[in-house]
Chain A
Amino acid sequence: MAESKPKIKKEVVPMPKQRPEVRRRNFNEVALGYTEKQAIEEANRCLQCPKPQCVQGCPVEIDIPAFIRLIKEGKFDEAVKKIKEKNSLPAICGRVCPQEGQCQKFCVLGKVGDPVSIGRLERFVADWERAKGVAIPKLAPPTGKKVAIIGAGPAGLTAAADLAKLGHKVVIFEALHSPGGVLVYGIPEFRLPKSIVQAEVDYIQKLGVELRLGYLIGRIYTIPELLKDEGFDAVFIGTGAGLPRFMGIPGENLGGIYSANEFLIRVNLMKSYAFPEYDTPIRIGRHVAVIGGGNVAMDSARSALRLGAEEVCIVYRRSREEMPARREEIENAEEEGIICKFLANPTRFIGDDKGWVKQMECICMELGPPDESGRRRPIPIKGSEFLMDVDTVIVAIGRTPNPIIQRTTEGLKVTRWGTILADEKGKTSLEGVYAGGDIVTGEATVISAMGAGKKAARAIHEYLMGKNS
C-alpha cells in the first residue's frame, strides 16, 4: 500500500525575536532561539534527501541531514555530537554564519519555498547542550608534539580544538587580554553574546588547550623562536584582519571619526557602553553616519543606535543589491530605524573649532558596468555634492592585514596585499608554519576562517605524524 506523503510546509518556522522598538535601545540578543517544539517542527520540514545538496555549502562539512534527523527524533544530545564531529563552535556558527549563502542556498526546499533553517537548528542544539552541560569528547593518546596557535579567533580556536582532539599539545597565543578574536571585539553582544564565546573557549580549554593572553607574536616571540627555542613542532597563524582602512579624504582625523574597529573594540571588548563603570570611554553624538555596506557597518550602526544616537544613517556608495551585508542583518537594522543612504560617498569632513566633525560632504554616485568584484562600479556624478550634519562618523570600509608577523618572520612569503601566502591546506612558505582565515584570504567570514583552521589542523597533523616516521 502506497503511503501518501504528508504535504511539505513551505514556510520556515519564524525565529522569536525581541521587538524592534524594544531592542533598539538594549544590547541583549535580538534573536531568542527556537523552543524544542519549534525546532522539531522546523526539522520536520527537512526532506532527508538521499543526495543532500546542503552539505556542499558547508565550509566545515557538517553532516547536515543526519543532525536534523536526530532533532526530528528528539535526540538533541546525539544531534549536537554529530555537529561537533566537524564543528567545535556550533553555538557561534548557528548565530553568525551566512547560511543563506552556504548550506541553505543548496537546500532543495528553497526551490518551492523557504529552505530549511539549518543555522537556527544548529544554534538550537548547541544552546540545548550548553544549558545541560557540555560533554568532553575522548581525546586521542598524546603524540608528544607541540603546536603553537597564534590568535584565539575562529580560525585559531577551531585549529586548536581539532589538534587537541588528535592528541597534540596545543598552546594558543592571544594578543588581546580576552580570547575570541573578532567574536569578542567585533561582533556585538546583541548578535553573539560574549557568554557564548566564553563557553566555547571553556570547552576548548577542557580539551587541554593552553591559552596565553597578552602575547603579541612577532614581538614577544617570533615564529622562528617558537619553533627553535620554545619547543613547538608547528605553528598556525590565525591573526585575522588588522589595521582599519580609511578613505584618505580631508578631515578624516577629526574627533568623532572612528574606524569601525575602534568603535566596536571600545564597545564590545572594552564595554564602553557601560562607561564610567568601565573605564574606556566612547562618545556618540546625535547624528551618526556609518560608511560602508558590510556586516561590520550594520553592527556599527546598530551599536550606535543602542548607545543612544538619535539618528543613524548608513552611507553606501552602491545600491542595496550590491550590499555585502547579510540580508537578515540589513532587515534587522532597518526594522530598528536605521536609515540607508545608497549611492553616496563621502568626499570630505568639516570640523568645528575644537577639532570635532560637524559635517560630512558626500557626492552622489551612479552605477556603471561591473568591476572585477562582479558588482557594478560606482561612479561619482559631477557637481552632485551635498552636506550632511553629523557629529559621529564610523568608517567601516574594511581592513588591511596586520603587518607585525610578516615584518618579523624572515622567509614568510606575503602577497602584494600583505596577506600571508598559503596553499589550500594552509601551508606557508616556511616548514611547519601554517596559516588560515582573514590573514590569508583578506576579510571574509567567521565560518570560512573556521574551515581554514580545520583544513590546516588536518595538514599540521599529517605533517607532525609524517615527521615521526
Chain B
Amino acid sequence: MYKIVTKKELAPKIKLFEVHAPEIAKKAKPGQFIILIVSEKGERIPLTIAGYNAEKGTITFVFNEVGKTTKQLGLLNEGDSILSITGPLGTPSEIRNFGKVLCVAGGVMIAPMLLQIKALRNAGNTIITIIGARIKELLFFEEEMRALSHNFYVATDDGSKGYKGLGFLKEVLEKEKVDRCITMGPVVMMQNVCEITKSFGIPTIVTLMPIMVDGMGMCGVCRVNVGGETKFACVDGPEFDGHKVDFDQLIKRQRLFLPEERLSSLLWEQLGGCRDGRK
C-alpha cells in the first residue's frame, strides 16, 4: 500500500498526489512512468512521474479525472493509500547539454515537463518553454515554469490566455535556433508540434502513453508504428522520435475502448461514485 502524503488540486479535476514509495523514489528518473491500481477490481493505468524525492521517500504524479479510475483516485485523500504502484517503468529520458531546447507541454503533462526542464537546465541547456491548455482555467505551474525558462510562452485553444493555438510556434522557430524539441501532452498537440518542427528540421522527442495493461513488455497493446516498425511504448519508449510516429494510428488506438470506458465511468457515477464504491 502506498500512502498519499500530499494532495493538491492544480486546476479543476487536475490533481497532484505525492505518495510514499521510497524504493521507487530512489530509482525514478525523468521520462519514466508508473502503473497504479486503485482497488481490488481495478484496472492498471500508466501515469508519468512528475517528481521524486529520495530523502522523503516520495514520488509525485498528476492526473486528470476523466474516467472511472482517475475519478476514484481523485476521491482519495491525504492519509489514504493506493493499492498497488509499480515503477519506475520505461526508458529514462536522454538528459545532456543539447544547447537550446524547446519544451512544449499541454494538459496534465505540464507536470512531468517541469521535471524535464529542471533536469535539462541542470545539464546546461537554454530552455524555451510553451505550456498550453484548452482554456486558461486548466493551466498550472505557470510561475514555476517561467522561473526555469529563458523564454516562456502560454497558449490556449480558445485564446483566453496567451496565444490562441500553436500557430505562433512557427514564428518562435523563425527567431530562435533550436537544437532539440521535447513535447508531452495530448496526442493531437504533439502531432501539431511535430509537423511544425519537422519543417525546421529540429529533432523532436514525444512522450507516448497509449493504452497499456501490464506496462512492462508483455501484452503489446501499447504498440505504435514508429518509422514503419512496431514498437512497444512501455519498454521501447515512452519517448520516441516524433517525426517517425504514425499519429493517426495512435489516435485510433487510443480510442479502442472508448465505449467501454464511458460505460464504466457512467455506471460508477450512477451507482453513487462515492468512496464506498471503491470496492
Contact = CB atoms under 8 A, between A and B. Distances in A.
Interface of B: 23-24, 27, 32, 37, 41-44, 68-69, 83-89, 213-214, 216-221, 223, 225, 230, 232, 235, 249, 252-253, 255-257, 260-261, 263-264, 267
B69 A220 contact: no
A253 B235 contact: no
A436 B243 CA distance: 40
Given A253-B253, A276-B260, 4 more contacts: A175-B86, A243-B232, A255-B253, A402-B235
A441 interface: no
A307 to B, nearest CB: 13
A276 B27 CA distance: 35
A246 interface: yes
Given A177-B86, A220-B27, A280 B220 contact: no
B225 A253 contact: yes
Contact of B230 (A248, A402, A404): A248
Contact of A270 (B24, B44, B85, B264): B44
Interface string A219-262: 11100000000000000000000111010100011010011011
Contact of A176 (B214, B255, B257): B214
Interface of A: 175-177, 185, 213-216, 219-221, 242-244, 246, 248, 252-253, 255, 258-259, 261-262, 265-266, 270-271, 274-281, 283, 354-355, 402-404
B235 A403 contact: yes
18 contacts: A177-B37, A177-B83, A177-B84, A185-B214, A213-B84, A243-B235, A255-B253, A259-B221, A262-B213, A262-B219, A262-B220, A262-B221, A266-B219, A274-B41, A276-B263, A403-B235, A404-B217, A404-B235
Contact of A279 (B69, B88, B219, B249): B69
Given A177-B37, A220-B23, A220-B87, A265 B218 contact: yes
What secondary structure prevails in chain B residues at the interface with A? mixed
A80 B230 CA distance: 48
B238 to A, nearest CB: 13
Given A402-B217, A402-B235, A281 B261 contact: yes
A153 to B, nearest CB: 12
Given A220-B24, A220-B88, A253-B223, A277 B218 contact: no
Contacts of A248: 230
Contact of B87 (A219, A259, A271, A278): A219
Contact of B42 (A216, A279, A402): A279
B277 to A, nearest CB: 12
A219 B88 contact: yes
Nearest to A252: B230
A276 B259 CA distance: 12
Contacts of B214: 175-176, 185, 265
